[in-house]
């Protein structure tokens, strides 16, 4: 029988294979604890998860204050990278780190589809 952890990793792998220029993906709790990640570098994985969750939480607080609604996705970018974070149910978020030259529409569609899969696991 397949475990939840294996299903999470399969979902992340499918996302990375369907979308070019993805550097790292993770499923994390709202507190930043790793549920699954495609990175093997433990320090980077934990930092990626913690900072990604913190940014999503802060953006969620801002959205709640301004509109009274929950945040569903957060996108932020630097000179060379883009981070896409998508709500994946009540207890998890999906964080995707990409290079700058990615097809953003494809990343968003595939990230949202992956988040739905994660929610159903």
Taken in order of first residue, the domains within the chain and their CATH numbers are 4-120 (3.30.450.30)
In whole angstroms, what is the distance from residue 63 CA to residue 66 CA? 5
1: pLDDT strictly greater than 90:
no
3-state secondary structure of 108: helix
33-78 residue pLDDT tens: 999 999 767 668 999 999 999 999 999 999 999 999 999 999 999 9
CB-CB contact of 115 with 88 (8 Å)? yes
Whether pTM exceeds 0.75: yes
87-118 residue pLDDT tens: 999 999 999 999 999 999 999 999 999 999 99
Checking DSSP bridges between strand 93-99 and strand 81-87, what pairing results, if any? antiparallel
Which whole number is the average pLDDT over 9-24? 94
């Amino acid at each position: 029988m397949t475990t939840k952890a294996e299903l999470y990793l399969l979902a992340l792998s499918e996302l990375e294979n369907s979308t070019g220029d993805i550097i790292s993906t993770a499923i994390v709790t709202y507190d930043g604890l790793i549920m699954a990640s495609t990175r093997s570098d433990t320090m980077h994985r934990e930092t990626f998860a913690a900072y990604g969750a913190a940014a999503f939480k802060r953006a969620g607080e801002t959205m709640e204050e301004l509109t009274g609604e929950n945040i569903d996705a957060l996108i932020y970018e630097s000179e060379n990278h883009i981070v896409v974070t998508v709500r994946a149910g009540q207890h998890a978020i999906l964080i995707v780190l990409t290079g700058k030259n990615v097809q953003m529409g494809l990343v968003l569609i595939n990230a949202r589809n992956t988040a739905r899969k994660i929610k159903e696991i």
